[in-house]
Amino acid sequence: MLKLIFLNALRNIRRNMLRSLLSVFIIGSMVLLFVILHTVSGMLTGQFARALMHYDIVVQSRYANSPLGSHIDIDAYRQMQREEGLKDVDAVSVIQSSRNGNGLWIIGVSNYPVFAATFGILLQKGRVFKKGSSEIMIGNNAINILRRGVGKSVALNGGPRLKISGTYSSFFTLLNSAVLTDLEKAIELSPSKKSISMLLANVHDNRSVDAEITVLRRRYPELVILKTETVGGSMTTLRDISAMTLMISWLVFATAAIAILNSLLITTIQRTKEIGILSAIGWPKSMIVSIFLTESMILSVSAALGGAALAKPLLWLFRHATSLSVYIPDSIAPDVLYKVAAMALFVGLAGVLAPMIYIFRMNISKALRHE
């Protein structure tokens, strides 16, 4: 029974090869788009939010869309270090740079051990930069961008030559395309020479985070002071990317489902007589629908596999063939692949809806007379 259903479905796909290929192409493209968007935005939103959860409070300047556009006066940082209610006030300076046509981030940190623990920095070669020295550590992707290794020196942003003390990797993939150095050194390399991008802090009593934030907001009206729990949703860029991804995901779902639904409805109408014959010889309509369901599933799963398989080379192509300053990861997170599998299942099921209604409402005698 299952063999006949499968064979029938497979041969029907072959019989309508051009239409089937077009459906697979359309759905595959949708899946590809879905995977790339989720990979890029997932990297930005998910990893960032996860890393920041080690702190109670995040501080950035007003009207900043991201740490890159945030400029906190160094005096405010010094003053905040003296706040009674706060402990572990760490500063991070993020400077956008480029090298050999690739985006490169220069990140200065005030407290390397805590930063390393928070962002999962694993030393791969050499050693950690010395505080106050002209040393840098480079991420494992930055090695390819800078084309330099441990022990060599490199000039960044027109500044003095800095010695590469070590290489590292991080779960926070953005950092793998970055250069890590001491905060003071990063400030020297920044265009303004006096500002930092973000402050991260813990409060002494973590039950009074909200109260502490209220006090700080009064004292530092020029700064945006947020609880890290809300930072993912409050940072405009991340929020916009999340919203855009969600919207495009729905569009992708709908477009892929409509594409397969349209293709299957046409093939169902073309095969009206065949459906009538099967009904006349005693096939239950549910089993006739299962032929179309099998076809729908074969098309959607093939498209999902194709789209997902093409995503990685396309990400690689974006990384290497464009000079985009936005970091593009070269690996696809498993949760994105799970979403693609769910999407294939959903699209496959949705695709058979219209044929199912058509089949169940069909008059067998009329179907047999269908030309």
Partner 1 sequence: MNDTILEVRGLSRYFDRGLTPAVDHVSLTLERGKIYALVGPSGCGKTTLLHCIGNLENRDGGSIRYAGKAPEDIRSWPKFRREFLGFVFQFHYLIPTLTLQENVESALQWSGTVPVHEKRARSAALLETVGLQHKKDMFAENVSGGERQRAAIARAFANAPDLVLADEPTGNVDSKTGAMILDYMKEYVRNENKTILIATHDPDVEAIADEIIPMKDGRIRSVSERS
Residues lying near partner 1 in the complex (CB under 8 A) are found at 1, 4, 7-8, 11-12, 15, 273-274, 276-285, 287, 363-365, 368
CB of 365 to partner 1, least distance (A): 4
Q: Which DSSP letter does residue 147 get? A: T
When the beta carbons of 8 and 181 are compared against partner 1, the nearer one is 8
CB of 274 to partner 1, least distance (A): 6
Q: CA triplet 48, 54, 56: central angle to 5 degrees?
A: 105
Which of 294, 351, 292 is CA-nearest to residue 6?
Answer: 294
Cα 147 from Cα 313, distance rounded (Å): 22
DSSP 73-111: EHHHHHHHHT-TTEEEEEEEEEEEEEETTEEEEEEEES-
When the beta carbons of 4 and 211 are compared against partner 1, the nearer one is 4
Q: Which DSSP letter does residue 169 get? A: E
When the beta carbons of 281 and 321 are compared against partner 1, the nearer one is 281
CB of 142 to partner 1, least distance (A): 56
Cα 93 from Cα 113, distance rounded (Å): 16
Backbone angles phi, psi at 107, to 5 degrees: -120, 120
Cα 257 from Cα 136, distance rounded (Å): 50
CB of 4 to partner 1, least distance (A): 6
When the beta carbons of 179 and 298 are compared against partner 1, the nearer one is 298
When the beta carbons of 18 and 321 are compared against partner 1, the nearer one is 18
When the beta carbons of 288 and 350 are compared against partner 1, the nearer one is 288
CB of 297 to partner 1, least distance (A): 17
